[in-house]
Amino acid sequence: MNQLLSFIRKEFLHVLRDRKTLLILFGLPIVQILLFGFALTNEVRNANIVIIDDARDVASREIIGMISASRSFRVREAQGGHSSIDEMFRSGGVKLVVLFPANFNNDLMHAQRARVQIIADASDPNTASTLTTYVSAIIADYQKSTVQSIALPFSISTQVRMLYNPQLKGAPNFVPGVMALVLMLVCVMMTSIAIVREKELGTMEILLVSPFRPMLVIVAKVVPYLLLSLVNVATILVLSTYVLDLPVQGSILLLFGVSTVFILTSLALGLLISTITNSQQSAMLFSMMGMLLPTVLFSGFMFPIENMPIPLQVISNLVPARWYYTIVKAVMIKGLGITSIWRELLVLVAMTVVLVVISVRKFKVRLA
Amino acid sequence: MPDIVIQTRELSKRFGAFVAVDKITFDVKSGEIFGFLGANGAGKTTAMRMLSGLSHPTSGAATVAGFDVFTQPEEIKRTIGYMSQKFSLYEDLTVRENITFFGGVYGLSNQAIKEKSDQLIEQLGLQAEVKKLVGSLPLGWKQKLAFSVAMIHDPRIVFLDEPTGGVDPLTRRQFWDLIYAAADRGVTIFVTTHYMDEAEYCHRVSIMVDGAIKALDTPRNLKQTFNAPTMDAVFYQLARGAQRTAD
Amino acid sequence: MKSSSNTLSNGVVLNSIGKTYDKGAITAVRDVSFSVQPGELFGLIGPDGAGKTSLFRVLTTLLLPDAGTATVAGFDVVKDFRAIRGIVGYMPGRFSLYQDLSVEENLNFFATLFGTTVEENYELIRDIYVQLEPFKTRRAGKLSGGMKQKLALCCALIHKPQVLFLDEPTTGVDPVSRKEFWEMLTRLKEQGITILISTPYMDEAMMCERIALIQGGRIMSIDTPSNIMHAFPTTLYSVRATDAYHLRMDLLAESFTESCHAFGDEVHLTLVHDASGKAAGRQEVIDAMRARGHIDVELREVEPSIEDCFIRLMGQHHA
C-alpha cells in the first residue's frame, strides 16, 4: 500500500510541475464551459432576413410587425423581383426572404386563403430549417389569434423554397467544414511535427551546417504536404460528388485555387508553431489546442457565427478557416464565382502573406 | 568464509534461432566486485536482465541471493538494487522527493525512509541541494545520488549498468569509492562498463564475446594469460575475433 | 600530392570566446582562446558538461558566442557564417543520421546537400566505406554503434571539407571500433584536413597532435600531449599491494602524501615537498605501508599519463 501511495504521490508531482499540461488540464474545461454556455449555440439570433411586402395591407403589416419583434431576426424591408432576391442571397448575407404577394389581406378576407412565400438559404440546412420554422410559427400564431377574433376561418399557407439545397441535405454543411478541418489538420500538425522532429533527432544541426539555405529546408519540408493536401481536396470532392450526391456547383478550378491559398496559410501556421516548440509532443499539443479547436469552434461550421456574441464574432474574423469555409460554401454549394467572393479571398491571401512573412522571419538560422 | 550469492550453470537465452547468451557459468561471492565486460551486442545486457529477474531464461540454471531465476524473479527483484546509465532518477523531482519515492517503492517504512534520506544526504554532502530538482545537478552528483538511492533498501546485491559514462576522472573515482565502501560492507557489486581501467578496479572480470564467456579471472591473471599490459589490450585481443557487431 | 582544396589557411582561431545560457545564468564556456594550425589533429579533452559541445557549436556557427571572436579558415563565425557552412564537415554527438534511410541514401543525401556527388570525393572515404558497403541497403537505424559512427564520418567527409569537427565521435562505441576510428582519422590527416575532435576518453588524447584540456568551461592547458605530461610538476609514483583499496585509504592517512588516486589496480602517489624541496623517500613509503599490514608492496616511478595531468589540473582549478 505504501508503495502505491509513493507512486501516486510521485505522479502528482510530475503533473503539477508541468505548467503547460496544467494549463490545458484546468484551463481548457473552463474555457469550453464558458464558450459553450454563453457563446456557442445553435439557437438562431439576429439572422438577416429580408421581407418583400407587395401587399402593404393590414394583415401583412401585422405579421411583419410580429416578425420584426422577434429577437431571432434582423429585418430589412426591400422591393424587388426574383433577380434582386437572387442577388440578396448571393452577396448580402441574407438567410431568408419572406414575400407577401399583393392583395394579401383581400385574399384572406374573401378567398379565405392566402399564400406567403418563404425562400431560405439552405446551404446551411440547420439554420434554414430553424428560420423557416420560426417564421411559419409566427404566421401560424397570427392565423390562430386572428381567426379567433374574426370568427372567419382562413388559412395562410406558406410556400417554402430551399435554395441551393432543396433536399436539406446535411452534406452541404459539413463537406466544406470537413475540408477546412482536414487541410488544417494535415498542414499545421504534420508540418510542425516534421520540422520539430529534425530538431529532436539532431539532424537539424547538420542541415544548418551546410551551404543549403535554411529557406530551402522549409520548402522541402512543406512541398510534400502541399501536394498531399491537394490530393485530399480532390478526394473529398470526388466522394462528395459521387457518394454524397453533392456535386460542385461552381468552378472547380477556383475551388482548387482557393484551397491552395488556404493550404499555404495552414503550412505557414505549422511553420510558425515549429519555431516556438522543441519537442514533437508539444508541437502536436499546440497544433491541436491552438489551431484545431478554434477552427472547429469559430469557423462557422458547427456554430453559426451570427449567433455568437459580438466579441466572439470579432475573434472568428481572425480564424483563417472561417474565411475559407465561407468561400468554399459559396463556390461549391451556391455556385458563385470570383466576383462574389473576392473580398473573402483577399482577406485569406492577406492572412497567408502575413503568416508566411512572420514564420520565415522566426525560422532560426542558428540553434539559438 | 564469504558465501556465493550468484550462481549460474549453463544459463542461456535464445530469441528464436538467435542465441543471445550461450551457456554462461560462473559464481560470484559475497562482497565481490564483479566486472561484466563485452562489446555492444555481446549479450551482457541480456545476461544482466536474466540475473536481475527482468527476463526469463531459456535454459540452464541460476540463483541470485538464493532465489531461483526461473521460479522466483519477484523475490530477486525485491532483494537487489539496480542502476543504469539510461535511467536513474527523475529529473523534475527534487533530491529529497526522489529519495522518498524510491524508498517507498522499495517498501521502506516512513520512519526508515526519513532516517535513510538524512543519512544519504549527509554522506554525499548534498545538504544544500536537497530541495533542488535533480535535473539541475551536475552529472557526477546525479550518478552518486542514483547509486545511493539504488542502495537505499540495503540490498545484498547491486547491478550497475554502465554507471559512469561521461563524468570527469575525479568524480569517477569518487563514484568507485562508494562502490568500494559498499563492497567492504559485504555488498556484491555486478557492474558493466566500457572503461577498461574500471575493469581493473574489479576483483574479477568476465569478458563476453558473441554470447559466451571467453575469459573470467582477476585482472592481474588475465593480463598475464593474454600477455597484455592493460585490460584494454586483453579486451581488444578477445573482442577482435567477434562475429557479432549488432547493437 | 596535396589535395586541390585550399589548405593554406584552413586553421581555426579562438579569442576569448564565452558562451552562456539562460540569460547568463549558466556559463558554459569562459574566456577560451587557442589556435589550431592548418592540417592539425587537435583534441578537446574533457568530461560531460565541460563545454566541448558548446564550443563546437560556436565554431560551426550554430550558436552565437556571447563574448570573444573566432575564425574558421579565416572566416568570422558571426559575420561569414555562410561561408563557413560550405567548407566544414560536422559530426555532432549521437551521429545524427536519418534512421529510416539506408546507408546509401544517407550518403547520397549529404553529398547532394553540399552540392556534390558521392563519386566526386569517393577517394576520401573509400577506406571507411568499404566496411559499410556490404550493408549499403540497410537502414541506418539498424546499424551497430560502430557502423553508425563510420557512416556518420563518411557523411561528414563526402564534400571534402577543409575543417572537420567531430563532437565525441567515440562515445558509447565499443573499444574495437574506437581504435579503428582513430586509425581512420590518422589516415585522413594526410589529406591536409584540419581536424578538431572532442572526447571524454583521456587515453585518446595521446593520438592527437595537440590537445586542450577543458573543465568547467575553462581551458586548463593547451600543448602537445607529451609536453603536458612533461609539465607535470612533481614525481609520480605508482604503488601496488594486494589490497588496492585499503592501500589507498592508508596512504591518504599518511602525512607524506600530497595526493593519491586510484588507477586500476595501482595507486598513483605524489609526495609532499617541504620548503627545501625534500620529500619522503621510497623506502619510507614502502615501510609505512608494510607496517599497516599490506602485503606485496611495490613502488616505482612512472610517467604521468594525460589522466594524471587532468586530475592534477582539476585540483588546481577548483576554487
* Residue A350 in this model has a pLDDT that exceeds 90: yes
pTM, rounded to two decimals: 0.81
How many Å apart are CA B222 and CA A286, to the nearest integer?
58
Q: Count CB-CB contacts under 10 A for residue A181.
A: 18
Residue B138 to residue C262, Cβ atoms within 8 A: no
The two beta strands, C67-72 and C75-76, are antiparallel
How sure is the predictor about C161, in pLDDT bands with cuts at 50, 70 and 90?
very high
Cell matching residue B80: 537487489
Phi, psi for A154 (deg, rounded to 5): -140, 165
Higher pLDDT, B199 or A368: B199
- Helical (H) or strand (E) element with B214: strand B212-217
How many Å apart are CA A97 and CA A47, to the nearest integer?
11
How many Å apart are CA A115 and CA A156, to the nearest integer?
6
Identify the pLDDT of residue C2: 39
Tell me the mean pLDDT in the region C183-191: 86
- Identify whether the C-beta of residue A359 lies closer than 8 Å to the C-beta of residue A271: yes
* Residue C114 in this model has a pLDDT that exceeds 70: yes
Q: At what angle do helices A191-201 and A252-276 cross, to 10 degrees?
A: 30
Higher pLDDT, C251 or A83: C251
Please report, to the nearest 10 degrees, the dihedral formed by the alpha carbons of residues A248, A251, A256, A259 taken in order.
-80
Picking from C138, C143, C176, C213 by the largest number of B CB atoms within 10 A of its own CB, the best residue to mutate is: C176
Identify the pLDDT of residue A92: 64
The rounded percent of chain C whose pLDDT value lies above 70 is 96
Query: Any CB–CB contact under 8 A between C93 and chain A?
Result: yes
* Residue C1 in this model has a pLDDT that exceeds 60: no
The rounded percent of chain A whose pLDDT value lies above 90 is 12
At which residue does the C-alpha cell 456574441 appear? Answer: A309
The two beta strands, B157-161 and B188-192, are parallel
Residue C57's contacts (CB-CB under 8 Å, 6 or more residues apart) are A205, A367, C63
What value does the mean pLDDT of chain A take? 84
How many Å apart are CA C178 and CA A300, to the nearest integer?
62
Query: Any CB–CB contact under 8 A between B111 and chain A?
Result: no
Identify the pLDDT of residue B58: 93
DSSP code of B3? P
DSSP structure string for C32-101:
EEEEE-TT-EEEEE--TTSSHHHHHHHHTTSS--SEEEEEETTEETTTTHHHHHHHEEEE-TT----TTS
What value does the mean pLDDT of chain B take? 87
Among the partner residues A206, A210, A368, nearest to C92 by beta-carbon distance? A206
Query: Any CB–CB contact under 8 A between A39 and chain C?
Result: no
Mind telling me how many Å the CA of B92 is from chain A's nearest CA? 7
Among the partner residues B90, B92, B105, nearest to A6 by beta-carbon distance? B105
Q: Count CB-CB contacts under 10 A for residue A278.
A: 12
From A300-314, A338-352, B131-145, B189-203, the region with the lowest mean pLDDT:
A300-314
A194-213 residues touching C, CB cutoff 8 A: 201-203, 205-212
Picking from C19, C22, C96, C151 by the largest number of A CB atoms within 10 A of its own CB, the best residue to mutate is: C96
Identify the pLDDT of residue C65: 94
Query: Any CB–CB contact under 8 A between A278 and chain C?
Result: no
Cell matching residue A196: 520539430
DSSP code of A344? H
Identify the pLDDT of residue B205: 93
For residue C97, which residues of chain A lie inside 8 Å, CB to CB? 203
Residue B97 to residue A3, Cβ atoms within 8 A: no
* Residue C6 in this model has a pLDDT that exceeds 50: no
Residue B240 to residue C176, Cβ atoms within 8 A: yes
Tell me the mean pLDDT in the region B176-199: 87
Picking from C19, C66, C78, C85 by the largest number of A CB atoms within 10 A of its own CB, the best residue to mutate is: C85
Identify the pLDDT of residue B247: 38
Residue B107 to residue A3, Cβ atoms within 8 A: yes
From A49-53, A109-113, B171-175, C194-198, the region with the lowest mean pLDDT:
A109-113
Residue C314 to residue B168, Cβ atoms within 8 A: yes
How many Å apart are CA A297 and CA A28, to the nearest integer?
13
For residue A221, which residues of chain C lie inside 8 Å, CB to CB? none
Identify the pLDDT of residue A354: 93
How many Å apart are CA B36 and CA A238, to the nearest integer?
64
How many Å apart are CA B91 and CA C174, to the nearest integer?
28
Residue C144 to residue B247, Cβ atoms within 8 A: yes
Among the partner residues A201, A203, A366, nearest to C62 by beta-carbon distance? A366
Residue A211 to residue C82, Cβ atoms within 8 A: yes
Mind telling me how many Å the CA of A9 is from chain B's nearest CA? 8
Residue A2 to residue B97, Cβ atoms within 8 A: no
For residue B92, which residues of chain A lie inside 8 Å, CB to CB? 13-14, 17-18
> What is the interface size between A and C, counted as CB pairs within 8 Å?
51
Query: Any CB–CB contact under 8 A between A23 and chain C?
Result: no
From A287-301, B93-107, C221-235, C276-290, the region with the lowest mean pLDDT:
A287-301
The CA-based angle A141-A145-A150, given to 5 degrees, is: 140
Query: Any CB–CB contact under 8 A between A217 and chain C?
Result: no
Alpha helices in chain A (DSSP H): 2-17, 19-22, 28-34, 58-69, 82-91, 104-106, 125-150, 171-184, 191-201, 203-208, 214-242, 252-276, 280-285, 293-298, 310-316, 320-328, 338-362
Identify the pLDDT of residue B244: 57
Instruction: Calculate Rg over the CA atoms of chain C.
Output: 23
How many Å apart are CA B155 and CA B72, to the nearest integer?
16
Higher pLDDT, C1 or A173: A173
How many Å apart are CA B184 and CA A179, to the nearest integer?
71
Q: Which residues of C touch B (CB under 8 A)?
A: 46-50, 143-147, 171-176, 179, 200, 202-203, 215, 244-245, 261-265, 307, 310-311, 314-315
Residue C62 to residue A202, Cβ atoms within 8 A: no
Q: Count CB-CB contacts under 10 A for residue A301.
A: 24
Specify the amino acid at residue A216. Answer: L
Among the partner residues B100, B105, B110, nearest to A3 by beta-carbon distance? B105
Query: Any CB–CB contact under 8 A between C135 and chain A?
Result: no
Tell me the mean pLDDT in the region B66-93: 86
Query: Any CB–CB contact under 8 A between B101 and chain A?
Result: yes
For residue A209, which residues of chain C lie inside 8 Å, CB to CB? 60-62, 85, 88, 90
Give per-residue pLDDT as tens, A237-280. Answer: 898 888 888 888 888 899 999 999 999 999 998 888 888 888 88
* Residue A368 in this model has a pLDDT that exceeds 70: no
At which residue does the C-alpha cell 469559430 appear? Answer: A298
Q: Which chains touch C (3 or more CB pairs under 8 A)?
A: A, B
Mind telling me how many Å the CA of B159 is from chain A's nearest CA? 22
Please report, to the nearest 10 degrees, the dihedral formed by the alpha carbons of residues A59, A63, A64, A70 taken in order.
170
Instruction: Calculate Rg over the CA atoms of chain B.
Output: 18
From A329-338, B88-97, B102-111, C4-13, the region with the lowest mean pLDDT:
C4-13
Give per-residue pLDDT as tens, A200-236. Answer: 888 888 888 888 887 788 888 889 889 989 998 999 8
CA distances from A286 to A189, A207, A267, C116, C295 (A): 8, 25, 14, 38, 68
Query: How does B18-57 read in b/e, with b if 16+ C-beta sit within 10 Å?
Result: ebbbbebebebebbbbbbbbbbbbbbbbbbbbbbbbebeb
* Residue B246 in this model has a pLDDT that exceeds 50: no
How many Å apart are CA A14 and CA A4, to the nearest integer?
16
* Residue B156 in this model has a pLDDT that exceeds 50: yes
Query: Any CB–CB contact under 8 A between C115 and chain A?
Result: yes
